[in-house]
Structures are given as C-alpha cells and as structure tokens.
Amino acid sequence: MKNNFPYISIILTTISVAVILISFSSCKTTEKGAKQSSTKGVQDDKEKIAFENKFFDANKEKMKLNYDIAETLFTQALKIDANSSATLYELANIYLIQKNKTKALEFSKRAATIDPTNVWYQLQYAECLKQNKQPNEVAVVYERLIKNYPDKIEYYYELANAYLYANKINDALKVYDKMEKHFGVTEEASMQRLNIYKATKSYDKALPEILKLIKAFPKEAKYYGMLGELYQATGRNDKALEAFNDLLKIDPNNAFVHLSLADFYRGEKQNDKAFQEIKIAFKSKDLDVDPKIKILLSYYEITEKFPELKPDADTLCKIVVAVHPDDAKVFAMYGDFLFRDKKMEEARTQYRKAIAIDKSKYLLWENLIIIDSNLNDFVSMAKDSKEAMELFPTKPEPYFYNGVAAMQFKNYKESIEVLTDGKEFVIENKLLLAQFYAFLGDAQNALKNYTASDDAYDKSLENDPNNVGVLNNYAYYLSLRKMNLDKAATMSKKSNDLEPNNNSYQDTYGWILFQQNKYDDAKVWIGKALDNGGRGNGTLLEHYGDVLYKLGETENALKYWMDAKKASGTTDLIDKKIADKRLYE
C-alpha cells in the first residue's frame, strides 16, 4: 500500500498555518464588517515581512502555551509597528493569562483606542477595566457598544452591572427600563429590579414589578410565591394567602408553594399548619434533597433550645429517608439527630445506611466508630476501624480505636503495632497523641515490657500533664513493682487533687503509701476509698485488710480478706492469707 503519511503531514501543516494566519490577518473583520490593518504603521515591504514573521512566530508560541516567549516576540513585533492593534490585543490577552492586570489594561486600552470599531478590542478593554475595578469606565465602554449594537441584550446587562458596582442604582434602573422598551419584559431584568427594590425596601415599586411578571408569564408559579412573600413582608397577610392559593391552583404539587405557606403560617403563629405544609413539601420528590437538608439543619439548631420540637424533626427525618433512599446525606443527617439524642443503636443504623451508599465521608466513619465504643461493641469497633484505616490511611483516629479494640481482646502485640503506626499521623493534637501513648503504656505493661511502658506513660504526660487516668495507672503499676515510689506518690496525689472522691484513685494513693511503709496514712486513704463506694470491690477490701495486718489488727484484717473473697477481684494469695491468718506479698 502506498504511504500517505507525507501528504497528511502537509495537510496538517497547511491547516496550522491557516489558523495562525487567521489570528493575525491584516484584515480583521468586526461585527460591523469594518476591516482593520494590523500593519498600518509599516512603511515598506521589508518591514511588513519582518513584522509578519515576528507576529507569526509569536502566535505559534502562544498556541503552544509558551506565553513568555510569545510575549517577547509580540513585543518585538510591536517595535516594528507600534500601532498594530492586533499585537496590542494579543499582548493584553497574555497579560490577562499571567494575571498582570495593570499591563493588560494598558495594552487593551491602546488597542481599543487605535481601533474603536473592533468589538473584540472593546470587550477586552471592558474586561480589563472590570478586573482593575473601574466600573465607571466599564460603563462608558458598554454605553458605546450599545450605541453601535443596540440589539445585543448582553451589553445592557453588563452596563447595568457596572452601574450597580459603582453604586449608581438609578442609572442601572434606567438601563433596565431601556431594555424593556427595546426587548419587552424579560425575567432577568425584572428580577434584577426586584432585588434592587427589596434591598432598598421600595416595596411600592416591587409590587407592580411582580404583577408585571405575572401578566407576562401567567403560568409561572414562582411569581405567585414571590407575590405572596412580598405581601407578607408588607403586612398584607390576607393578600399573601390569596396569592399562595392562586399558586396552588396553577401548580398544586409544587413543593415550594407549601414551603412558602409554611413560612406564612409560621409568621401567623399557626405552627401546626406550618408543620403540615413542611411535611407535604418533604414528601415531594420534586423538591431536591439540599433544601430539605437545610430545613433539617435549622431544626437541629432550634431543637437545642426547644426540645419539644424533637418529635417534629424525627418525623421529617423519617419522611426524607423514605423519599430519598439513595442519598447518603439524608441518612447521615438522621444519624446526627439520633447521635445527639444518645440513641446510639438507632444512630448507628442510619450511619451504616449512609456509608453503604457513600463510603467517602470520613466523619461518618468516625461517628460510627465512636458509637461502637460507646456501646462497648469491640467486635464492631475492630471491624469498622479496620475498614476506615484502609479507606483513610492518614487519619489517626481509626488506628487509635483499632488499637483499643485489640487490647480488649488481649491482642497486645497487635495493639502496639497499630497504635505505633497511628500516632505518626497525629498532627498538632497533643491530647490525641497523649491518648495513643497512654494505651501504648497499658499494652506494654500487659506484656511486662516495663521500660517501654514507662517511656510511653512519660510521653503521654508530656503531652497531657493532667490526664488523671494516666497519672493513676502509671502510679499504680509502679507501686505493684515497688519502683520509683516517690514519683508514683506524686502522680497519684495529683490525680486525687484533680479528681477528688474517686475511690480507685484513693486506693492507688493508699497502696503507694503502704509500699512506703506509711501504714497509718495508707489506712486513711484506703478507708476513704471504701467510704466512697468501694466496699463491693475485692481489690480495695484486700488492700485494706493488708494495711490492718501491718498495723497489728489481725482479726480485723481477716474479716476484710474474707469480705474481699466474696466480692472477687482479689490476688491469688487471698485463700492463703485467710487460711494462715497472715499477710503474704
């Protein structure tokens, strides 16, 4: 077969050249058909050729997105022909791309001045003026464009916007009047006027504007709703209700009508009727999810102050999940309501439904795992946190909960591995980092890796010095090993100062005093622990019996040891203590 590639290459090259030539053709046609010479400042053919070569090369670089090179070449072309409006226009475009608003304005103004009949130059100049926040000058450009192109409706909108930006409200209104005379009633112009009238509270002018829209578009339901809202704003509630009823006649299934009616009845303090209208709107599939979520968010806030409205919120949540069963947001929203009200099982069900639809929302997973923890469902917590770790590998919280779950099943090595990995993702959150180290300390202690355990506890307290749980546990484990008892006593005393009347912390401090041979003080503190609800705790009862034995109260000690055995939670030596009526350590 004959190779056609060379011909294809020639064709493509020809097309590329044609495109470039079009972009800098010495005859650029404007909307009026006027032609503009890009080389009218060139004196001879030699200069003309040099100019066109530079311009050609510049356009090639621009098409390759090499804007810096293109800028240099266009600038060189401009030195040959300083009055080339096409070159000025191209340079202004490059400066716009480079976000050099000042230079873009300078070059676009020169191009527009040299050739005031070229609409593209004028539009570029207007855009540069907008970017440089010169609305009055923008208005001048569009006034000129409207004069030359009176049938271009978009120019009227731009002119009105420029006046609005310059805070020349009356001038903007005059533009809309001019538009209406030329093009007839248009929704956008009327809506702009309405917004101005509402913002300035010129309700007497807003009313005829809406009535004009209704007359022009009698089957457009939203205008009746706007009419009703305007009547409401001006205190004419009877007329407002009439407008809403007219709207229902036109579009009885329009959910927005029912929302408007709900606002109306709420304003009339007829809350039951208002809620009925909201329910009708929520049952409509034509009303998008987002407005419903917005309403539910308002209920979330208001039910904090008025809890009697919680049943209404629950009803709306049930409606929205039934109407939009494929949208994760509605289940997440319902879950948030239930979670706030501590209905953990029900909240978890909704979060699981949301995640089944969309697994990408991290906060859903975090709430789900927190609920697992609150329910002490460590099987689910292990499973959910593992999946969250895989989906969000740089989020530290799933690692934390996964490590805690592993500890509950006494998988201490696994817990240490997960917690060690997870803490590396903690950024600027000392309290969370302290929790990681706290559980690492517990896991290492369980494996009797005491040096690693102590190091983890120390790091936990560096990040959160007032963590009473770590202060107590660290102190207690040191007392069991009879190590660093002064440090243990200091930490335990601090935990009791931070959280007094905690029988567990009081027992720890008493036990440390026992290890320091301060038996009278130990009796006082462990006695406090018993009086603060510890009489059913076998560990506390056994400790108190040990203290009494050291103080020579053998019979009394025996009584407490026997009570401890009944309560359970004692050491393996309890039977021997009771049998021999003596202390074994």
pLDDT digits (tens, 9 = 90+) for 361-411: 999 999 999 999 999 999 999 999 999 999 999 999 999 999 999 999 999
- Block residue for tokens 């439904």: 353
**CA–CA distance, 112 with 356 (Å, rounded to integer):** 59
Tell me what pLDDT residue 236 has: 83
pLDDT at 22: 32
Give the end-to-end CA distance of the chain in Å, rounded to a whole number.
100
497: left (phi over 0), alpha (psi -120 to 50) or beta: alpha
Instruction: Determine what percent of the chain is predicted with pLDDT higher than 90.
Output: 74
pTM for the whole structure: 0.65
Q: What one-letter code names the amino acid at 310?
A: K
Contact 362, 395 (CB under 8 A): yes
pLDDT at 286: 85
Q: Is the dihedral of CA 330, 332, 338, 343 positive or negative?
A: positive
Residue 23 clears pLDDT 50, i.e. is over it: no
**Mind listing the pLDDT tens digit for each residue in 445-464?**
999 999 999 999 999 999 99
Distance (Å) of CA 519 to CA 164, 476, 497, 543, 544: 85, 17, 21, 11, 10
What is the pLDDT confidence band of residue 518, given thresholds at 50, 70 and 90?
very high
pLDDT of 7 higher than 60: no
The secondary structure of residue 307, as a DSSP letter, is: G
| 525-534 tens-digit pLDDT | 999 999 999 9
DSSP state of 377: -
Which range is least confidently modeled, 39-53, 78-92, 124-138? 39-53
Torsion angles phi and psi, residue 35, rounded to 5 = -115, 145
Across the chain, what does the average pLDDT equal? Answer: 89
- 221 vs 237, 254, 285, 291, 332, CA distance in Å? 19, 8, 17, 18, 33
Both tokens of residue 290? 């987002």
Per-residue model confidence (pLDDT) at position 41: 53
pLDDT, residue 43, reads 59
Nearby residues of 524 by Cβ (< 8 Å), 6 or more positions away: 510
Tell me: pLDDT of 424 over 90.
yes
Run of H or E including 390: helix 378-391
What's the confidence (pLDDT) of residue 27?
36
**What does the CA dihedral 524, 526, 530, 535 come to, rounded to 10 degrees?**
-140
Ranking 9-18, 125-134, 345-354 by mean pLDDT, the lowest is 9-18
**For 43-82, b where at least 16 C-beta lie within 10 A, e where not — what string?**
eeeeeeebbbebbbbbbbbbeeeebeebbebbebbbebbe
Give the residue among 89, 23, 85 at the shortest CA–CA distance from 60: 23
DSSP assignments along 485-543, one per residue = HHHHHHHHHHHHHHSTT-HHHHHHHHHHHHHTT-HHHHHHHHHHHIIIIITT-HHHHHH
Give the angle 131-177-227 at the CA atoms, nearest 5°. 100
pLDDT at 25 over 90: no
Q: Which residues pair with 328 in a beta bridge?
A: none
pLDDT of residue 350: 98
For residue 42, the model assigns a pLDDT of 53
Nearest to 93 by CA among 132, 121, 64: 121
- Pick the residue with more confidence: 570 or 186? 570
Q: What share of the chain is helix, strand, coil (3-state, %, to 5)?
A: 75, 0, 25
Helices marked H in 3-80 — which ranges? 5-24, 45-63, 67-80
Report how far residue 342's alpha carbon sits from residue 320's, in angstroms, rounded to the nearest whole number.
21
pLDDT tens digit sequence for 461-491:
999 999 999 999 999 999 999 999 999 999 9
Neighbours of 502 (CB within 10 A): 19
Burial letters 332-352, b for 16+ CB under 10 A, else e: bbbbbbbbeeebbebbbbbbb
Burial pattern 281-297, b for ≥16 Cβ within 10 A else e, equals: bbebeebebeebbebbe
In this prediction, residue 36 carries a pLDDT of 41
> What separation in angstroms does the CA of 177 have from each of 119, 173, 192?
24, 6, 11
